[in-house]
Structure 1
């Protein structure tokens, strides 16, 4: 539970500024286009952190790495809280995002500590915290800014991140990296090479990227829909919509438990189909709030099922390279999310809510196709290995088990 809260707080820091851009721009005397770069800085910094810092978990002592990243994030949040101008805020935001990938050091840490029979539940619990942090950040940000201005958000998060660093240092066990004699640059090369040597990583990276792209399309375009007729909601009311998405995020542990019982492929398949089906409800939500609520909950539920089951598949591949595999997977994952956000704006501009729903459904259909192709490819490879073993007089069971 501590690790779940820690991941949520780390990720939330990258989304606090989104509903506050107007307030920040007015106080720092920065134009709308320039202040919007705060969001870009957060995305870019996080992507760099995934590539440059997360793989270190396979090389250095993991508790020390996690604590150092959380402490650094607290410091950079303090810089943001006291930023005198837009340039300083941009720099501190990028650095905060860079070190906030400590959350992605904690997730494989939890998977390593967990008993294999309970890994799905444990990863699901930690990822629930991460998704809740992502979804509820905007709601918390709006509430805190009303209490004491936009800087209050950064002050509070800095204190909480410092507290998390202390708690993680106190309660996490020491856990050394397994990178052996790898140098840092060798570690980075090894991370990229994972895509070449692990076919399942390629399939699951594609699944994750399309799933988050579909998820991002919904949450990016939702504001455009809710500020217009027939809804006409205020910004604070729209921020509360994150609470609806949290309902779907809370199902991650259910998907994890099913994965622990040997149903990980069923969870993935059901998640992709549900993701596609959810867009019919989202489309009906253009004029009906009930259908919109159903659609949002199912999108989040399905996305969580795809993400959690994919992580369970990948964490079982090579325990000694778990952080590198996580880094490679999440880099593709968040690239998909960024692409989804960008495409959502274009879809809204050219096709309105209908265009958004067509885009979301198309991306979701892509997850179904990839999952089917993965199963066909993996089963075919397993069949070939089994036949080869039989012809050579070996027991085919080990090959099937390895698959």
Structure 2
């Protein structure tokens, strides 16, 4: 069964085909990479635009601000209009935003283009919600885990490929290449994936946004899991925003490609994303969350030795990515199960916590590094991680998480 036939036949509770799931994963990987391309390039961007190292982290923050706005105002549209049309529109506009980033010659222009880049990158969450809606309840956790694995691989490969392209042709070329890939992906979606019938929410866009606000007050699973998302992605952003700074300076003086290679060490995160979805389907969501948060907190110990041992840094990166993605997939599996009729609004609301955490972590990481160095960055990440573990310990298990 091909992807077009599969999506045309969603009226009956058929399982999602591997081909369709694979296409969703690839699209997510390419789109989410746009959010993370900048992290290995911060040093080059700062030199190119004559920006102080202490504020260059605002590039990541600007992207996350755009992402947060998109999560709140664009992703919920998936419950109101045809998702295929929404996905294609976002991919085309994303190509334009990426072109603007590559052409930016001034600091404020770059920040503005990054906001637009983040705004369009929320197509990832539209796709994740689409996949969850098409999956049967029995396979939803596994499908979300598989698609999220594509997201994780996109994040990891983004750092490596952006470093490699930057070493060969400069940091601007990274965004020109990605712009072309977005255009190609839009064409593939148009030709391969047919619009599927889906339950639509009746009402206006204004009422849609209002109903999304209500989710924050009416869905306790969303609130609990949102707090976890804010904290784990704040810790995640602290590492990946600040890590390039000590690695690119003496005595290590690694190239962009070499820094990007550390992203590949986090491949365990992709494996965790797939397995965590199955664990959630089997009823082990709370236990998976607790183990993941404990591993996240412990991961900062080996990373504290990054300036003297790259091996310990690799160990820490593997542990951190595994932990973050395991908790993230578990979170999504639970919130999708809570309200199957509001998939897009739920994922948009949930990812607002993610974006807020990522933005705060990025801004804090470069500021702390500029003043106190890498050990202070690790203390910051560890403090955030232990806070998440404490929240989990003090939060009683609900029927949805037992």
Task: Name the TM tier (shorter chain).
Answer: 0.7 to 0.9
- Compute the TM-score of the two structures, normalised by the length of structure 1: 0.84
For the 8 Å contact 1:15–1:137, the answer to whether it is kept is yes
Structure 1 residue 195: Cα displacement: 0.9
1:54 is aligned to 2:75: yes
- Compute the TM-score of the two structures, normalised by the length of structure 2: 0.85
**Aligned position for 1:31:** 50
CA distance 1:350–1:121, change in 2 (3 Å): same
1:282 is aligned to 2:299: no
CA distance 1:25–1:226, change in 2 (3 Å): closer
Which stretch has the larger CA shift, 322-331 or 164-173? 164-173
**1:74-113 equivalent positions in 2, closer than 5 A:** 74-82=95-103, 89-113=110-134
1:257 is aligned to 2:278: yes
**Aligned position for 1:308:** 329
Secondary structure of 1:97's counterpart equals: helix
Using the alignment, how far apart are the partners of 1:279 and 1:22 within structure 2? 23
Using the alignment, how far apart are the partners of 1:37 and 1:347 within structure 2? 13
Using the alignment, how far apart are the partners of 2:56 and 2:196 within structure 1? 41
Using the alignment, how far apart are the partners of 1:94 and 1:68 within structure 2? 17
**Aligned position for 1:204:** 225
**1:183-198 equivalent positions in 2, closer than 5 A:** 183-198=204-219
Return the index of the structure with the highest Cα Rg.
1
Using the alignment, how far apart are the partners of 2:217 and 2:46 within structure 1? 45
Kindly tell me the number of residue pairs found equivalent between the two proteins: 379
Q: Which has the higher contact order (CA 8 A, sep 6+)?
A: 2
**1:165-180 equivalent positions in 2, closer than 5 A:** 165-176=186-197, 178-180=199-201
C-alpha RMSD of matched pairs (Å): 2.7
Which stretch has the larger CA shift, 36-45 or 50-59? 36-45
Using the alignment, how far apart are the partners of 1:332 and 1:185 within structure 2? 21
CA distance 1:402–1:13, change in 2 (3 Å): closer
For the 8 Å contact 1:78–1:154, the answer to whether it is kept is yes
Using the alignment, how far apart are the partners of 1:133 and 1:359 within structure 2? 26
Secondary structure of 2:266's counterpart equals: helix
For the 8 Å contact 1:230–1:287, the answer to whether it is kept is no
Using the alignment, how far apart are the partners of 1:243 and 1:186 within structure 2? 43
CA distance 1:292–1:41, change in 2 (3 Å): closer
CA distance 1:359–1:92, change in 2 (3 Å): closer
Q: Which runs of 5+ in 2 are unaligned?
A: 1-21
Which residue among 304, 307, 319 is the counterpart of 1:298?
319
